[in-house]
A = this chain, B = another copy of it.
Amino acid sequence: METLEIRRPDDFHVHLRDGDMLIVAQHTAKDFARALVMPNLTPPVLDWLEAANYRDRITLNTRGTGFQPLMTIKLVPRTTPAIIRAAKAHGVTAAKAYPVGVTTNSDDGISDFSAMSDVFAAMQEVDMVLCLHGESPGIFSLDRESHFVSTTLRKLHNTFPRLRIVLEHVTTSTAIHALYELGDNVAASLTVHHLLLTLDDVIGDKIKPHNFCKPVAKYPHDVRALKNAVMRGDPRVFLGTDSAPHSKENKECAAGCAGIFTAPVAMPILAELFESWGCLNKLEPFTSEFGAKFYGLPLNMGTLKLVKQPWTVPSIINGVVPFHAGKTLSWQVANNE
């Protein structure tokens, strides 16, 4: 049987939720050594103490796996430089900025990035990574990321050139092209689903809420640009799944939530995809090296073993319909001993 053994991967963008739904953390912990955990809970994670408490709840739900959650705090208009410095001192990995209203739990997000200059200056000073949900509010959906890249991202980088920035879950060729202009301190995380989906998979045939996320999947030429960045082995493009579970009921309804639950299928799908592109050798750097290097973290020590053996994705996992539910995948993660 064909097998593939790679350095244990990191997921540099994941939603583990809280309360009962935190059970989903086990799926991330099963395949990933570390994951950068997003802070847009209700209530949100706003400072180091809330991050530490949240980390403890995650650790409790993933005990025995060796999984290490990397914590983030959410930037809101009332965030201060002191909050940033304390977060850095207490081991918080990054701070996440959501423009107001662009996705789940972002109503308390940022409407004026220039009003937060002292916070970004402090982040640059203490060398804390800024994670950006890169969509401009009030813009037509398909143009939100391109607009954000051309305006807010560009301005932020020009003002704080030493601030390390990750443009999260990129979906457009515009974003990929901007990376090259903006230099080494700007990187991009890339999801599994945006390597596969276009808008046609959301509304091209039937309407499919389980393929719906923010930013929404775009044009075929955008997917090609994302794929090319990965196939080139661009070190500033790395995996952040944005795995974002919502209950089946909250997806299959009159106003379904944005988010795709990929944690249980991310690595098998990536293996299948990279194999189909003839570049399985590019998988390990994408999932297990580039992100850690950008974040200045040591590479993981263990390995993840994948075997080429078909399996069918369950129709529901922990009350959530996973990505590719019911489909048969050609690779699976071997049981970890």
* Chain A interface residues toward B at CB < 8 A: 140-142, 198-200, 202-210, 212, 216, 219-220, 251-258, 321, 325
Contacts and interface: CB of A to CB of B under 8 A. Distances in A.
B253 A219 contact: no
A206 B254 CA distance: 9
Contacts of A210: 254
20 contacts: A140-B199, A140-B200, A141-B199, A199-B203, A205-B255, A206-B256, A206-B257, A206-B258, A207-B207, A207-B212, A207-B251, A207-B255, A207-B256, A207-B257, A208-B254, A208-B255, A209-B209, A209-B254, A210-B254, A254-B325
Q: What does DSSP make chain A's interface, helix, strand, loop or mixed?
A: loop
A140 B219 contact: yes
Contact of A255 (B140, B198, B206): B206
A303 B202 CA distance: 42
Contacts of A255: 205-208
A141 B220 CA distance: 11
A142 B199 contact: yes
Given A210-B254, A220-B140, A202 B203 contact: yes
B321 A254 contact: yes
A142 B254 CA distance: 22
Given A207-B209, A212-B207, A200 B254 contact: no
Q: Shortest 8 CB-CB distances between A and B: which pairs?
A: A206-B255, A141-B204, A207-B256, A207-B212, A207-B209, A141-B200, A252-B253, A203-B216
A202 B251 CA distance: 14
A220 B205 CA distance: 22
